[in-house]
Structure 1
């Protein structure tokens, strides 16, 4: 029986992915702790602190199968300690000599912090892969629709024409920047921890820093400059990056929701027979996947700030906040992975209704390119006077529901300097998309390696 949507047989694939759930499973968490103990023993063996035979035995037997989970659970209830039951269970699989060297010179938080970082390293690899998929999805769609003219909207109103590819290329560029953030920041949070009771490595004498460096190297983690038991800014930064990725994912899903409105109906998240939008209204084609995405990303963005609040620590170690790491970090990784998986499906199944895009582009009967007419007329009347002239005609066109061209041809202030043929050309939305296509090409060029 489960009590969370993350693990629910019914909901789990909406709120996460199997791959990310595996990264944060009990089995993986304990295995990462075992990996840390094995690396610690090996590192200490290089400095003559632990016999090599004992270190080799610890490494060979540091597998989850050697942990008795029933004993661990009962031990945790009795001791209220997060690690001692695992140490006791693990040492029972070892010889007396090797068992005596498990956890030598370390403190609990060294192992739990390092284990969590090893999980985040695996999570980061999955997140990077998913962001790359979404970048690739957006690049392909941006290229496909870079010349498809549509209504640009500001303040929920028609503004000036853009292209659909331009809109999607903006999404792609955000994903590209998220990849840069993940790459640039990882050396600040994929860092091993070995520092001892109060962080001074006193338990390892003058060999502490050498052991620490080897320990981190064996685990493929950065070596800390100084102990980070009470410095949780690395996790806060990781959380913030994931929250930003969630923001991009949610923005795209929300945009598709809006573009799928009955009154707009330009883009649809995808539809196949059998997909049901409502239990009572058979006609509904609701953007339910996109709605799921937005809901799931809200969970990420609601939990991510715990990374910042957990930075408030007391003295040299404090358990009140670092235990929250075990809760919120898995949750935001799993939820974000689920949202990205759903968006990947949406972007690959997205339906573009080109006829509706064309229909909506003509909805304001020429007013969507009033800026272009104003700027052309401004060459003769001055920009501000031209704005007043076109404004008056646009407001009249709006109130009387008439084509802007009809009113402009009746205004001597316009026709004294601009003839009908020129006005018709100026009022064609296809001729006023600026550098939309060229900017799409720049995004495609910047991330061309991701299309291969």
Structure 2
């Protein structure tokens, strides 16, 4: 991921040094298992761990792996050779990678890193949920115009749209947790997944130590439908973040101006127009969501590999797994800042509610006419005729209905239709579903 969209925490997780640290941990745990089985001299793993405590794996180690890989053209071979050099204990290091194949280490370690990355994402998601909940509660009883097809429809609660976003992100929490459990597997089954050179007990020990499950039927790779499920959860999360961003971008339009993303004192909106305040953070989220969706397609292509394995998935995942988790983390953090500092213009919300001079109350009028005994088709014609006249002539719907002899409702009876509180009377019921 380019530096612009990195977060410090994800930069650490997806660094080369962190990757090799986790590779080393998988190798050490496998050695411990072999020791318990009596295949490796006791204390071998401990000797190597002590050497790595004295000389931790760092960026210098990563550079040494690169040097060796330039010759071997194989990353795990380069890694094990570098690790032997780094520990300075060739006698203990000769047992490294016993019975394993490269992907045993790579896939298991990668899953561990993915679980760590998802943990960071879930932390930011929790913060975004708190911000949405606060907005929903704060504006629960604020009447606002609802829009369908981009056109004013009926009054609603301004806070209700934030509650809808809150509900969507709660579903994302569930999807991410399910995907995290799906990827929380260990695979140390050997060259074609049949444990010919590694005991199942080794895999079980590593899984136990990591708190992971065992991949029940591997080949030489962890099946990639697990990764596709993870990428799907991230793509849907991105789509929901874009849903929020698109709504708030619309609400920031000059003609609407019901909300505005935070704008710093020294921030500039345009290189040429000093007055500009643009929803750049929200537009950024819309753009990055496209990347998350496109990366899902790439991972879906990784599910079908040749026979027990090929490595067509490897090059793809070196890009999309770090990038997608990093993007999701960045997007949530950026959205959180927008939500926490969101400016809400309540006067504009009230102004926009009345912008169409009462047209948004047309269904309420229709319902009251039917309750008064008018046949539905006739009632609809009366309301629509006056509504169209209101559109065309800029007159208020209530005044037109008062003057229309075909409308039996007058005075206070008609005024009831134009009370926005009627449209918010069940808002408490909706909020109660979320314990709010």
Band of TM-score, shorter chain: over 0.9
SS of 2:415's equivalent in the other structure is helix
Matches of 1:117 and 1:94 in 2, distance apart?
29
SS of 2:434's equivalent in the other structure is helix
Shift of 1:66: 9.8
Shift of 1:94: 4.3
Alignment of 1:72-221 (within 5 A): 72-92=65-85, 93-204=87-198, 208-221=199-212
TM (norm. structure 1) is 0.92
What is the aligned counterpart of 1:254 among 239, 246, 250? 246
Contact 2:288 2:327 in 1 (8 A): yes
Matches of 1:51 and 1:187 in 2, distance apart?
34
What is the aligned counterpart of 1:223 among 214, 218, 221? 214
Aligned-residue CA RMSD (Å): 1.6
Shift of 1:297: 2.1
Moved more, 347-356 or 41-50: 41-50
Equivalent position of 2:430 in the other structure: 439
Matches of 1:85 and 1:328 in 2, distance apart?
23
Matches of 2:147 and 2:185 in 1, distance apart?
45
Q: Any stretches of 5+ residues in structure 1 without a counterpart?
A: 1-5, 446-452
Alignment of 1:310-349 (within 5 A): 310-349=302-341
SS of 2:152's equivalent in the other structure is strand
* Count of matched residue positions in the alignment of Structure 1 and Structure 2: 430
Matches of 2:120 and 2:128 in 1, distance apart?
12
Per-residue deviation, residues 179-236 of structure 1 (Å, max 9, x unmatched) = 11222332221111111111111002xxx22211111111222211121516200000
SS of 1:272's equivalent in the other structure is coil
TM (norm. structure 2) is 0.95
Matches of 1:70 and 1:412 in 2, distance apart?
87
Per-residue deviation, residues 375-429 of structure 1 (Å, max 9, x unmatched) = 11112113333222211111111111100011111222212xx231121121122
Equivalent position of 1:295 in the other structure: 287
Change (3 A) 1:306 1:436: same
Q: Any stretches of 5+ residues in structure 2 without a counterpart?
A: none
